[in-house]
Structure 1
Amino acid sequence: MTSTFDKNISLAGRTALITGGASGMGRASALLFATQGAHVVIVDRNGLAADEAVAEIRRAGGSAESHHVDLVNQAALNDFVDAFLREHDVLDILFNHAGLPAPAGFDYDAQSFNTCMTINVWVPMILTKRFLPLLRKSRSASVICTSSIAGLKAVSFFPTYSASKAALIQYVKSIAQLLAPEGIRVNAICPGATDTPALRRDIADGIVRATMEEISASVPLRRMGTPEDMAHMALFLASDASSFMTGVAVPVDGGATA
């Protein structure tokens, strides 16, 4: 028997665009959205990984397409959006997940600052603006942005990254109010420490100056989050199960912000 919740969590018949959808939290969300019936559009600078994610979705009987786009490149971003607007009539879910870290402490410079702010703040802003005509055609439009608990509380060793994620949260809250009269919901996910390939690379590169064990021990639940933990929240926010939620930045952090 299908419950009311099962019906509300379903994404059947909806189109969901996920930036940074080829790995980690983005990939987990793409796979999960597809199991719930969404046609998933994966946008990622790693074209091979995006194609592999699409192939996995299709093998499981789902529907997906991939686009190789370096979103930091404004010309490439514009070309992708122009093509998508020509080829699609409606967009139900825009998941602005793609993001990048920044140098630790005072190691930032103009270039690293601009790159961080571009992908973490400007890209979600411009994609949301450009895709508004398609979102307005949906009867259940949901915009989701991936922020971070670093945008909710001070993280002294990541000042540039923290600034970008705090700015993103305020953008989410502002446009949530702007778009609420139209029924378009806008929310943010704020992951805590999450075991992703990106985090492991950052540790190996010295961007994150802690071990996996040290990070796990710092979480009240005594474990790191998984990409699937974040995907479950993304699905909830994308679906009708969260139909009365907008303008919220939700920590998914094992108690770290408590």
Structure 2
Amino acid sequence: MKTTLRILLLAAAVAAAACARHRIIPDEKLAMIFRDAFLVNAYLSTESLSGDSLNVYEPIFDRYGYTVEDVQYTVASFSRRKSARLGDVVNRAADLLEQEGLIYDREVAVLDTVNNIARRRFTRTLRSDSLLRVERLRDTGLLRIRIPEVRPGDYAVSYRYRIDSADRNRNVRTGVWFERADSSRTANYTMLMRRGSDETFSRTLTADSSARTLVLDIFIFRDKPLTPRIDVRDLRITFTPDTALAVDSLYLEQSELGIFADEFFQAFAPDSLQLPL
């Protein structure tokens, strides 16, 4: 679909070269255009139709009195407008659909999960270990993990552990938290570890702009440390960015509407509108 749209839009761009300068579409009107485009995509997907041979978007723009170039110019301008965010327009489009009661079945899957789709797209695994076996005191450092330069968003921490019956440590705890620039803690969570059976630890912490480092301390001694006997399996730390950032990134990187993808603007926008690589 992207290839076909590029050909159509390139032809339109050449034909319109002598026309008046392109217009900035007001955010509310742009949200309405997005709303209609969402419905077109949902319909094409539900009916198993291909959009490659269908000029499906230009009639939407024309209905609101705008051209393909106007949409291109407007979306490209978001990178220069400090007080505007493309994600806000997308969310407004979803609100319009909800208000009008136009979301059913497939549309629900497409629209109600825009935020979740964006967050999943940019979720990253920061640390993964299949097995950490600690049987000496000097190896307990393996169980203290630091993730620096955290960003706003959710950090999911999970692992399975088993403390062997030969371990004589008591009141051992496990904990996870964020450290600020001044070394103070935020979102601090600790719990007492159980012994003698397979146990699971799972916790999701939300970082704000003050957080600097994520700290996971799996084996915290409360009493005098003795020789440990612990296996930690399937350790995983994942990061999911703040929803607003994820939605913005998704719609600027790649959208189901190929006309709104970055590469579209790189190919067709004037040099003065080129988006940064």
Query: Which range, TM-score by smaller chain?
Result: under 0.3
TM-score, length of structure 2 as denominator length: 0.24
Structure with greater strand share of residues: 2
Q: Which structure's relative contact order is higher, taking Cα pairs within 8 Å and 6+ residues apart?
A: 2
Structure with greater helix share of residues: 1
TM-score, length of structure 1 as denominator length: 0.25
